[in-house]
């Protein structure tokens, strides 16, 4: 049957299809598109007189790609997804190359419902959009390639019968290695959300422009997230969590780090951190095994009182030396890994991790011992010398200060040459009848 000899149908509505069960209306060529597939002779859909038919082309594409039997005869495009599922043909919600997309909206009236539109998917983008080859009863001639945004095919995407329709679930393949830092984002298959789906929300912020959040509660755990860690190299790793700039307001985010058969818990105030990684500590991880980071919604904060949010975003693991340096409470000394916790100033020594001053009086008679104490005094007990310290040595300089030589037979005692000297006194009492003399013990007599 040639194009000129087939029945003329005045169909002027985009996507409007008349279901023709009679084999007499089978079309072998439609607006220059020749049906040369073996099953094409059974195409039940007409080619509209003004240049094509979306159902003819979709059936033709499925026939050529899948082989007989192609799709059943579903009538107008609006019916396709409903009838396909009823007949056991799998229908998925997201685009996939080699499927028939179904749109139930638009295309004019087909007896109480929209006529709809169908086409053959040839490419898919990362945002859920797709491109397809299509025909139409009105609007253009022949086969066109058109691209549509996510959500355009509200009726879904019909897959070949008897084949897996849904994509296999992505598997966690990110390995933690000693060769450098490893980041596991919240869209990575190694991150999994659990709990009530309606209590999860997402936002286009945070690390790599996406994060999840739920509300904090003081009830038992409902929603929680797990970052699975596939550790290839046994090593100490410092663990970080990325706190996004919004939707992370809990004061008590309780991270559980399950490592090498042990659990470690770290509580972080997400409210005080914005758009940065925060360290959760350094831990020893074994190779392989059941290891993960977990964060729950049960923070101990009442939902009705606070309405705080628990943010879930990327985590990062950074390899650290196998020995973990420990300088807690230390000013100096060994960090336990061959390194140092610090050095002491000159004259000080490290004792028990503390810097201790050691007194130094070697070769000194006086002066500072270097630790706030004294190496000795310079008092020689002689009032006729000035005592002082010079360069750690005592110096005694004679003076001329008044003094007392302790001799009652002298007076006007003064210091001279480092000793006390007085002038002898006269004991003459003017009486010629007495012998006058001075007794050093008692004085004049």
Q: How confident is the model at residue 165 (pLDDT cuts 50, 70, 90)?
A: confident
Instruction: Say whether both 179 and 277 belong to one domain.
Output: yes
Q: Measured between alpha carbons, how far is 206 from 191 in angstroms, rounded to an integer?
A: 15
Q: Where does a domain end: 287, 320, 353?
A: 320
pLDDT of res. 11: 33
Task: Check whether 419 has a pLDDT greater than 50.
Answer: yes
Compute the average pLDDT of residues 434-442: 85
The tokens of 221 are what? 């755990």
Say how many C-beta atoms besides its own lie within 10 A of residue 48's C-beta.
Answer: 26
What are 251-288's pLDDT values in tens digits? Answer: 999 999 999 999 999 999 999 999 999 999 999 999 98
Residue 266 near residue 299 (C-beta atoms within 8 A):
no
Overall number of domains in the chain: 3
Task: Check whether 23 has a pLDDT greater than 70.
Answer: no
Residue 105 near residue 154 (C-beta atoms within 8 A):
yes
Measured CA distances, 263 to 156, 293, 295, 328 (Å)? 45, 10, 13, 22
> Which CATH number is 98's domain given?
3.90.1720.10
3-class secondary structure, 272? helix
Q: Measured between alpha carbons, how far is 176 from 227 in angstroms, rounded to an integer?
A: 12
pLDDT greater at residue 17 or residue 117: 117
Residue 278 near residue 284 (C-beta atoms within 8 A):
no
Q: Where does a domain end: 301, 320, 339?
A: 320
Instruction: Say whether both 291 and 416 belong to one domain.
Output: no
Give the closest residue to 229 by CA, choosing from 174, 185, 295: 174
pLDDT greater at residue 289 or residue 401: 401
Q: Within a domain: residue 35? A: yes
Compute the average pLDDT of residues 333-340: 85
Instruction: Say whether both 150 and 242 belong to one domain.
Output: no
Instruction: Say whether both 71 and 138 belong to one domain.
Output: yes
Compute the average pLDDT of residues 391-395: 94
Q: Within a domain: residue 216? A: yes
Instruction: Say whether both 127 and 183 belong to one domain.
Output: no
- Rounded (10°) CA dihedral 319, 324, 329, 330: -110
Q: How confident is the model at residue 223 (pLDDT cuts 50, 70, 90)?
A: very high
Task: Check whether 18 has a pLDDT greater than 80.
Answer: no
Q: Measured between alpha carbons, how far is 118 from 111 in angstroms, rounded to an integer?
A: 18
One DSSP character per residue, 45-109 reads ----TTT--HHHHHHHHHHHHH-SS------SGGGHHHHHHHTT--EESS--TT-EEEE-S-S-B
Instruction: Say whether both 274 and 149 belong to one domain.
Output: no
Domain span at residue 414 reads 410-444
The tokens of 442 are what? 């008692």
Tell me whether strands 130-134 and 117-124 are parallel, antiparallel or unpaired. antiparallel
Give the closest residue to 44 by CA, choosing from 59, 66, 63, 62: 59
Q: What are phi and psi of 79, to 5 degrees?
A: -80, -20
Q: Measured between alpha carbons, how far is 68 from 80 in angstroms, rounded to an integer?
A: 18
Instruction: Say whether both 301 and 207 belong to one domain.
Output: yes
Q: Within a domain: residue 397? A: no
Q: Within a domain: residue 63? A: yes
Q: Where does a domain end: 158, 187, 206?
A: 158
Instruction: Say whether both 32 and 98 belong to one domain.
Output: yes
Instruction: Say whether both 302 and 190 belong to one domain.
Output: yes
3-class secondary structure, 247? coil
User: DSSP label at 305?
Assistant: H
> Which CATH number is 251's domain given?
2.60.120.260
Q: Within a domain: residue 363? A: no
Q: Measured between alpha carbons, how far is 191 from 292 in angstroms, rounded to an integer?
A: 10
Please give the model's pTM, rounded to 2 decimal places: 0.46
Instruction: Say whether both 196 and 143 belong to one domain.
Output: no
pLDDT of res. 72: 67
Say how many C-beta atoms besides its own lie within 10 A of residue 344's C-beta.
Answer: 17
The tokens of 383 are what? 């009032």
Q: Within a domain: residue 352? A: no
β-sheet bridge partners, residue 267: 254
Q: Within a domain: residue 380? A: no
Instruction: Say whether both 193 and 142 belong to one domain.
Output: no
Compute the average pLDDT of residues 346-372: 91
137: left (phi over 0), alpha (psi -120 to 50) or beta: alpha
The tokens of 323 are what? 């020995």
Instruction: Say whether both 194 and 149 belong to one domain.
Output: no
**Bond from prior residue into 69 cis (ω within 30 degrees of 0):** yes
User: DSSP label at 160?
Assistant: P
Q: Within a domain: residue 30? A: yes
């Amino acid at each position: 049957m040639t194009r000129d000899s087939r029945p003329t149908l005045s169909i002027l509505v985009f996507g409007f299809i008349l279901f023709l069960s009679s084999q007499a209306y089978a079309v072998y060529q439609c607006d220059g598109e020749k049906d040369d597939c073996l099953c094409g002779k059974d195409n039940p859909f007409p080619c509209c007189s003004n240049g094509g038919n979306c159902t003819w082309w979709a059936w033709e594409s499925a026939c050529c790609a899948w082989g007989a039997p192609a799709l059943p005869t579903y009538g107008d495009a609006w019916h396709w997804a409903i009838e396909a599922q009823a007949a056991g043909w799998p229908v998925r919600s997201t685009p996939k190359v080699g499927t028939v997309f179904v749109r139930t909206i638009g295309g004019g009236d087909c007896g109480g419902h929209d006529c709809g539109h169908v086409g053959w998917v040839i490419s898919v983008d990362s945002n859920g959009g797709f491109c397809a080859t299509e025909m139409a009863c009105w609007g253009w001639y022949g086969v066109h390639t058109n691209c549509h945004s996510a959500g355009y095919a509200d009726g879904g995407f019909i897959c070949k019968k008897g084949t897996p329709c849904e994509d296999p679930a992505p598997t966690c393949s990110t390995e933690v290695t000693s060769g450098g830092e490893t980041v596991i984002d919240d869209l990575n298959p190694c991150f999994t959300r659990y709990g009530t789906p309606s209590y999860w929300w997402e936002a286009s912020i945070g690390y790599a422009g996406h994060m999840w959040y739920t509300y904090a509660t003081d009830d038992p755990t409902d929603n929680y997230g797990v970052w699975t860690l596939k550790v290839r190299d046994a090593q100490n790793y410092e663990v970080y969590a990325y706190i996004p700039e919004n939707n992370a307001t809990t004061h008590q985010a309780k991270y559980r780090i399950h490592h090498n058969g042990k659990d470690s818990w770290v509580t972080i105030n997400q409210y005080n951190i914005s758009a940065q990684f925060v360290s959760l500590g350094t831990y020893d991880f074994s190779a392989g095994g059941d290891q993960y980071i977990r964060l729950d919604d049960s923070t101990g904060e009442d939902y009705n009182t606070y309405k705080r949010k628990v943010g879930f975003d990327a985590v990062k693991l950074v390899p650290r030396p196998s020995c973990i340096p420990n300088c807690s409470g230390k000013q100096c000394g060994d960090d336990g890994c061959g390194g140092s916790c610090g050095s002491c100033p000159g004259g000080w020594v490290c004792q028990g991790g503390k810097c201790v001053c050691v007194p130094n009086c070697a070769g000194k008679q006086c002066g500072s011992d270097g630790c706030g104490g004294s190496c000795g005094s310079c008092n020689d007990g002689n009032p006729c010398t000035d005592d002082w310290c010079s360069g750690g040595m005592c110096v005694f300089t004679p003076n001329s200060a008044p003094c007392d030589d302790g001799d009652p037979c002298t007076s006007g005692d003064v210091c001279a040459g480092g000793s006390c000297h007085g002038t002898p006194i006269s004991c003459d009492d003017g009486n010629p009848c007495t012998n006058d003399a001075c007794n050093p013990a008692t004085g004049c007599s």
